[in-house]
């Protein structure tokens, strides 16, 4: 686990990198008919665009749970092989629009919020495409660390159609040994 100075630096980099923007990338739309209760729980990061705050991390997951204030508790976790430790960031998220639209503002550090936009979900809430406030932030998520090749290609195609540089996606390893 990183010390508090490392964690504050990580979270400060996240807020700075995302610029405190709570918008949605140009030309993109968040899912409608969203059901928060079905989205809650553990998600595995399958692929992402590169960011300083996740660079080099493996076994990355996100867990979403209900907060007492009707928000969402967010716990992001990843294994850093460089120091053989788990990095963890806890935050909170609130609906940006109505509760049936997959748009949130999320904060991991103080009063700084960034956009968290669910652009696509399959019918079973097993796979998701999530974007930050602009085309520089993209995550492909799944309920399992293993995604069928055809599903992965489908998600990549949808992300590309939404204007993301899918050639720059980084596949996240979930089988890296912990040392």
- pLDDT tens, 29-78? 999 999 999 999 999 999 999 988 899 999 999 999 999 999 999 999 99
**Contact between 36 and 118 (Cβ < 8 Å):** no
Q: What is the pTM of this model?
A: 0.87
Q: What's the whole-number mean pLDDT along residues 87-98?
A: 95
Confidence of residue 15 (pLDDT cuts 50, 70, 90): very low
What are the residue boundaries of the structural domains of the chain, listed by start?
Answer: 4-171
Give percent of the chain above pLDDT 90: 79
Question: Is the domain 4-171 a CATH 3.40.1160.10 member?
Answer: no
Question: What does the pLDDT read at residue 179?
Answer: 52
Q: What's the whole-number mean pLDDT along residues 119-135?
A: 97
CA angle 75, 160, 116 (to 5 degrees): 25
Distance CA(29)–CA(140), nearest Å, equals 16
Question: What does the pLDDT read at residue 178?
Answer: 57
């Amino acid at each position: 686990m990183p010390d508090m100075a490392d964690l504050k630096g990580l979270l400060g980099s996240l807020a700075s990198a995302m610029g405190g923007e709570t918008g949605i990338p140009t030309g993109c739309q968040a899912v409608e008919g969203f059901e928060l209760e079905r989205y809650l729980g553990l998600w595995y990061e399958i692929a992402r665009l590169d960011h300083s705050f996740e660079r080099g991390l493996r076994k990355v997951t996100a867990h979403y749970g209900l907060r007492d204030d009707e928000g969402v508790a967010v716990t992001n976790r990843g294994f850093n092989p460089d120091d053989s430790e788990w990095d963890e960031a806890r935050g909170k998220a609130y609906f940006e629009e109505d509760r049936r639209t997959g748009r949130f503002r999320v904060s991991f550090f103080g009063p700084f919020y960034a956009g968290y936009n669910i652009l696509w979900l399959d019918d079973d809430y097993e796979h998701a495409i999530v974007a930050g406030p602009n085309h520089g932030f993209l995550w492909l998520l799944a309920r399992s660390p293993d995604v069928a090749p055809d599903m992965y290609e489908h998600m990549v195609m949808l992300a590309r159609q939404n204007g993301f540089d899918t050639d720059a996606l980084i596949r996240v390893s979930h089988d890296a040994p912990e040392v």
